[in-house]
Structure 1
Amino acid sequence: MSGGVDSAVAAARAVEAGHEVVGVHLALSRMPGTLRTGSRGCCTVEDSMDAQRAANIMGIPYYVWDFSERFKLDVVDDFIAEYAAGRTPNPCMRCNEKIKFAALLEKAMALGFDAVCTGHYASILTDVDGNKQLHRAAAWAKDQSYVLGVLTADQINHSMFPLGATPTKAEVRKEAAERGFSVANKPDSYDICFIPDGDTKGWLGERVAPVTGDILDREGNTLGQHDGAVAFTVGQRKGLSIGTPAADGKPRFVLEVRPISNTVVVGPKEALAIKEIAGNKYTWAGLAPEHPEVEFACHVQIRAHADPVPAVAQVVSTTAVTGIDGTVELRIIPAEPLNGVAPGQTAVVYVGTRVLGQCTIDRTVSAVPVSTPEMIASASPVPVNA
């Protein structure tokens, strides 16, 4: 129970369905300044009190579990490390993967519970063979299946999403009001919860020492200098401070951040079009395809609120790319180029409404060739067990 309206209504529906329900709020930060400001952040003291009031109305036990150390190691420190490596991480994906459906579920199962129930807008359906599958919510505008793409088959088997079939958020708020929940009109949280003021650049600047480096064009020519590569993200236009205009007079955008050489590569907007993405840190949400090494049709989504794009995907050897024998990756080729994709982002693969799996993007290939062979990538992939 995050302290928001969705988890409160999800808990109430679970109670009415006849389950033995215990409300749990996760304490994820020990930092000062724990009172919420507007709708920024989550998991504050105020949120904890909101959750407890809802639990009291339902008459269910309520606990606060301190996962702050796990959250720091698995989410916050990972976020810093990924940016320092020139990648663009998604902390909500890591939180779902490492905290809500790993650490929390592990503790719940150890205490004898059967499932973790949350207020995510997603659905779990059962196929003809009795296998559970993760699907989009009924209302695509509110669908949150993307951030759940990291769930494994075992985690899906022990998860519940009572809001999956709810057509609108307005209906959830109406139900909350009818139940007497004070959070009925509480605004949704947004931004990164551990950066409540929304200043990601400033927050990172206090934790990653800036090192001056070169800003290059796609051919390797030096255009200027930066005061720290961590401050740049793929697709960024402002703040480049190059001075010299491009030959065609058009603005330039960040195409790549190279942490090893501490350089930032810029180029025309057209070069942000990506024709191929791949990642060797991939998982399947439920049963894996019977023959994932055979190219299959799918849709790919690269952001929580992005439109899915038709694509083909397959698991292939990465030996030719990495030079390391025995490594594999999930390679995805969209039917039309994707814009502004950065290594570190998550690509979630769908077949129809079903979430088939996901990968953390290790490398991207631009649809616009350059005069020298180039593959836009943040770092050489490392072998993992998929």
Structure 2
Amino acid sequence: MRKAIIAMSGGVDSSVAALLTKETGDECIGATMKLFHNEDIGVKREKTCCSLDDVEDARNVCYRMGIRYYVFNFSERFKEDVMDRFVDAYEHGATPNPCIDCNRYLKFDKMFQRMRELEYDYIVTGHYARVEYDEEKNRYLLKKAVDDTKDQSYVLYMLTQEQLAHISLPLGGLRKTEVREIAEKHGFVNARKHDSQDICFVPDGDYAKFIEQYTGRKSIPGDFVDTEGNILGKHKGIIHYTLGQRRGLGIPAASRLYVCDISPKTNQVVLGNNEDLFHSELTATKVNLISCESLKEPMRLKAKIRYRHPEQEAVAWQTEDGVLHVRFDKPQRAITRGQAVVLYDGDIVVGGGVIENCIK
């Protein structure tokens, strides 16, 4: 009998993942990560994941299944590796993906550390993706979920071979409707609970307000400029803008203007036409490859530049310094620094990295 720690958010997905694991006969415990103190960021406890309600839902499900339940306090690490990185990215003109950082540094790092300390064998999560072992390649593979409307392989591209060897993703072969049906059949209190959509520590979606409150600093106003460098007006501070944004600019123009670039060095926000947002190539760093050791030779595959972005035909390769280059068959709109580019070969995740630059 093996021993498993189920990462439980209080939602239906992790609850059903716990049930399916328990039904294998393995010894299970449920664990919720306490990631931050709501009062410190000025939001009500019931407004975020890891709230008291979520903890109680997870505890209720564990009690119903007869397994032990714990809350692990990782708030200090979450502040350093997720919230501080989030703020730093926006202050440097990038648009981060904190859910990927949470997976990288919390779920599959701190939770793994706790797994080893407690002498457990593997971690279970409610992510919609699949892990398989390829005997021919002698590698673990990360694959898309069967339910393509819920697939979360994009946010798991950073997983290492060591981590994949100790992960179970029981929902990868199920559809969301089936997961809810299983939860209802077993009387789980969260069977019809809505999925969390927002960034947990910015539940109202106002990133700039959060950053100013978190840092205690007001964002410094600067110039809106056009693509030729001509001043068009004043902006409120670069943290208020993301690539491709057109609302809330307050600049009169004969045609629609969009944020085409953000320069933290000059504190300028560059505005242009929609056509100015399209680029054919990008570079990425902090690269992690899963299905292969490297991409020294160009490889034809598909790439996603955002979580909800449709996959696009591309060629990818690495230079000697390890930087990932991705060249698209067709120019892509609003390739954004700080977001992840994730590469796919069919339903297999090849790997990915953090977007640094884009090239026309």
Task: Give CA deviations for 1:109-129 in whole Å, capped at 9, x if unaligned.
Answer: 222111110000000112133
Residue correspondence of structure 1 range 324-363 to structure 2 within 5 A: 327-363=321-357
Q: Contact 2:287 / 2:322 at 8 angstroms: preserved in 1? A: no
% identical aligned pairs: 38
Instruction: Give the match for residue 36 of structure 1.
Output: 46
Alignment of 1:83-94 (within 5 A): 83-94=90-101
- CA deviation map 1:135-191 (0-9, x unaligned): 00011111111111111111111111000000x211111100111111101111111
Describe how 1:162-177 pairs up with structure 2 within 5 A. 162-166=170-174, 168-177=175-184
* Aligned counterparts of 1:60 and 1:68: Cα–Cα separation in 2: 24
Match status 1:136 vs 2:162: no
Match of 2:165 in 1: 157
**Equivalent of residue 6 in structure 1, options 9, 13, 16:** 13
Q: Does 1:274 align with 2:279?
A: yes
Q: How far apart, in 2, do the equivalents of 1:106 and 1:35 lie?
A: 27
1:91-110 aligned within 5 A:
91-110=98-117
Aligned to 1:113, the other structure's residue is in SS state coil
Structure 1: state its 5+ residue gaps.
Answer: 318-326, 367-386
**Is 1:316 matched with 2:325?**
no
Q: Which has the higher strand share?
A: 2
- State how 1:223-242 maps to structure 2 within 5 Å: 223-242=232-251
Distance 2:45 2:232 in 1: 45
Q: Please, which of 197, 221, 231 is the counterpart of residue 230 of structure 2?
A: 221
Question: Which residue number corresponds to residue 265 of structure 1?
Answer: 270
Partners of 1:106 and 1:266 lie apart in 2 by 46
Code of the residue aligned with 1:220 in structure 2: it is G
> 1:212 aligns to what?
221
Quote the residue 2:4 is aligned against.
none
**Structure 1 position 305 matched with structure 2 position 299:** no
Match in the other structure for 2:3: none
Separation in 2 of the partners of 1:365 and 1:287? 26
Q: How many residues align?
A: 347
Q: Secondary structure at the match of 2:27?
A: coil
Q: In the aligned structure 2, how far is the partner of 1:340 from the partner of 1:115?
A: 38
Determine the structure 2 residue equivalent to 1:383: none
RMSD (Å) for aligned C-alpha atoms? 1.4
| d(CA) in 2 for partners of 1:241, 1:60 | 56
Secondary structure of the 1:182 match is coil
Match of 1:148 in 2: 156
For structure 1, which segment, 192-201 or 353-362, has the greater mean C-alpha deviation from structure 2 after superposition? 192-201
In structure 1, C-alpha distance between the alignment counterparts of 2:230 and 2:130, rounded to whole Å = 50
CA distance in 2 between counterparts of 1:309 and 1:56 reads 45
Is the contact between residue 152 and residue 286 of structure 1 (CA under 8 Å) also seen in structure 2?
no
Which TM-score applies when normalising by structure 2? Answer: 0.93
SS of 2:330's equivalent? Answer: coil
Give, as a single letter, the amino acid of the residue that structure 2 aligns with 1:162: P
1:226-278 deviation line (CA, Å, top 9, x unaligned): 121111110011222233x2xxx321100111101111111110111121111
Provide the rounded CA distance (Å) in 1 between the counterparts of 2:50 and 2:291.
Answer: 29
Match of 1:380 in 2: none
Which secondary structure state, in structure 1, belongs to the residue aligned with residue 94 of structure 2?
coil
Equivalent pair of 1:124/1:132 in contact (CA under 8 Å):
yes
- Give the superposition deviation at 1:337: 1.5
Write the mapping of 1:235-254 to structure 2, written as runs, cut at 5 A.
235-243=244-252, 245=253, 249-254=254-259
Q: Is the 8 A contact 1:154 1:286 kept in 2?
A: no
Q: What amino acid is aligned across from residue 118 of structure 2 in structure 1?
A: L
| Structure 1 ranges of 4+ moved more than 6 A | none
Indicate how the Cα distance of structure 1 residues 52 and 149 shifts in structure 2: closer, same or farther if over 3 A, else same. same
Give the whole-Å Cα distance in 2 for the aligned partners of 1:43 and 1:286. 33
One-letter amino acid of the counterpart of residue 307, structure 1: P
Indicate if the aligned counterparts of 1:285 and 1:357 stay in contact, CA closer than 8 A. yes
